Structure 1
Amino acid sequence: MSWKMLTGAFWVTIGVVITALGLDLFLVPNKIAAGGTSGIATILHYLIGTPVGMTMLALDIPLYALGIYRLGLGFGLRSLYGSVSLAILVDVFSLFVPVPTRDPLLASLFGGVLIGLGLGLVFRFRGTTGGTDLAAAIMRTYTGINIGQLLFLVDGIVVLAAGLVFRSWELALYALITIFIAARVIDMVQEGISYAKAFFIISNHTDIISGRVLKDLDRGATALKGRGLFTGSDREVILTVVNRSEVSRLKEMVYEVDPRAFIILADVREVLGEGFKEYGGEK
């Protein structure tokens, strides 16, 4: 097994541990069924007393079979490690982890953060925990509907069922909070926290500005060909990416050269390459 595969397996395992803790510390004890097979398992746990982890795994088994049939052997097997380890850890942790809060709002917030962080790590390192992700991928082969829309539909049905079973629409609303926060955290983990800024600089003095970017900031820059639609004249647009600490300095530098320059400033989630982060093969 290569170092890359070992690293990926390690981080997928960490993600599964965090996800299991999110369920056992916050969601399951507070009857927050935030969609997915974990939500169904939570409902069944309180209805008939079944263990949450093993119920999740039992729900996933037919999905594996159908997933292998519809999506190929590789897709089904790739889901196996994450879902089996998650099911085991959920049931093991439930035996001894404390319940830090019985406040459903706190539970939905912190549960969403942990679930999002855990699943974000799993997805970032090309793992999966099966569940509704696998179900949505299978359903897409039949319906052609976007996976995100299918996930929203499936999770919505689970949340609605939880509200009916627990006879509490407040718990259903808390579950929606968890789903929203988890989705945002998953995106943040996969895309990265914005730590750099992209500058698009439009000026009649691009040669001077780009020279100062290269020399004074020691940053690379790219000249893009552009055409002003109002004037019809061709001009260059400078594209450069800098750290947050360099934003003010670059603005001053541009306006010293050209007070009439036009700047577009955008957040950058992740930058791979010289002067920033080297690609580590995590994706």
Structure 2
Amino acid sequence: MIIGGFITAYGLESVLIPNNVSDGGVTGLSIVGSQWVGLPLGLLIAILNIPFVFLGYKQIGKSFAIYSVIGIASLAAGTMLMHHVPTIIEGDTLLVTVVGGIIIGFGMGLALRNGGALDGIDMLAVLLSRKLPFGTSDLILFLNLFVFIVVSTVFGLKGAILSAIAYFIASKVIHIVEEGLSGSKTFKIITSEPELMVETIRDRLGRSATYNLVQGSYSHEQFKEITCVINRLEDSKMKEIIHEIDDSAFVTVYDVAEVRGGSFKKRNIH
């Protein structure tokens, strides 16, 4: 949480703010407020996040609120300590948005992955993600659209657009940090050759699989639906196996954020 807070503070002070580009969320509102009233950015970050920390405590849990307080305090302190750090990029709007977005996205993603948040909007997004069929990063991006309207009053339309681009990049980095670069996929396969399919997957990929009995709504015929979890590197090999054994098989594929326990660890195939 502390490392994530300081990484985000560095991205703000060394890339975004010197180039009149804002962050999103409560931090973005704090940047606008700092420009308006002249108060230190870190102080406004701490004050404006108080109601959201309370929301996190009431709705998500005590540990989430405690970790978030640690992260937000680190972010606030980091902006004060790094206020005069050298600007690493100036003028090049493309580099500013990309590099700034990557840095703050990595910091915020690190915080979210470890049980807290660096921004009140993040807490609201985590809460809403439990009630709505959207990911945390998608909700963060949506809520920040309203923030960028406020940002435009200080940095102008161009600054608001650049801020939105930077935060879009940050949201994708948050997603990567939360789920990892490799990730996993679940294949659900309905085939006329379920036993041969599972045996071939086991022999060629070293992966086990499970069966679910399913029934067609029209034909009322029963099938064995195969479920198998693989990593992304095995995706093309899995599709090759399916096509070879039964090119008319019904296949659905899902992205998997995390896999734990069971027999997911594959055995050697050579």
Tell me if 1:26 matches 2:25: no
Q: Which residue of 2 aligns with 1:236?
A: 224
Residue 272 of structure 1 is matched in structure 2 by 260
1:259 deviates by 4.6
1:225 aligns with 2:186: no
The CA distance in 2 between the partners of 1:176 and 1:223, in whole Å, is 45
Post-superposition shift, 1:254? 3.8
TM-score (norm 1): 0.75
The aligned residue for residue 7 of structure 1 is: none
Aligned to 2:81, the other structure's residue is in SS state helix
Task: Report the equivalent of 1:262.
Answer: 250
Aligned with residue 87 of structure 2, among 72, 91, 98: 98
Q: What stretches of structure 1 of length at least 5 have no aligned partner?
A: 1-11, 278-283
Measure, in 2, the Cα distance between the counterparts of 1:123 and 1:175.
21
So what's the TM-score if we normalise by structure 2? 0.78
Aligned to 2:24: 35
Indicate conservation of the 8 Å contact 1:194/1:267, yes or no.
no
Pairing 1:178-217 to 2, within 5 Å after superposition: 178-217=166-205
Task: Measure how far apart 1:76 and its partner are.
Answer: 4.5
- Secondary structure of 1:127's counterpart equals coil
Mapped to 2, the partners of 1:163 and 1:214 lie a distance apart of: 56
- The alpha-carbon distance between structure 1 residues 225 and 25, as it changes in their structure 2 partners (threshold 3 A), is same
Structure 1 residues 56 and 271: alpha-carbon distance in aligned structure 2, compared to 1, 3 A threshold: same
**1:17 aligns with one of 6, 9, 14:** 6
Structure 2: gaps (5+ residues): none
Select between 183-192 and 69-78 the one with higher mean Cα deviation: 69-78
Bigger mean CA deviation after superposition, 235-244 or 71-80: 71-80
Going from structure 1 to structure 2, the CA distance change for 1:89 and 1:187 (only over 3 Å counts) comes to same
Contact kept, 8 Å, 2:211 with 2:226, in 1: the verdict is yes
Q: Equivalent pairs: percent with the same residue?
A: 33
Number of the residue aligned with 1:86: 75
Whether the aligned pair in 2 keeps the contact of 1:19 and 1:115 (CA below 8 Å) is yes
In the alignment, residue 177 of structure 1 is paired with which amino acid? I
Give the Cα–Cα distance (whole angstroms) in 1 for the partners of residues 189 and 32 of structure 2: 55
SS at match of 1:32: coil
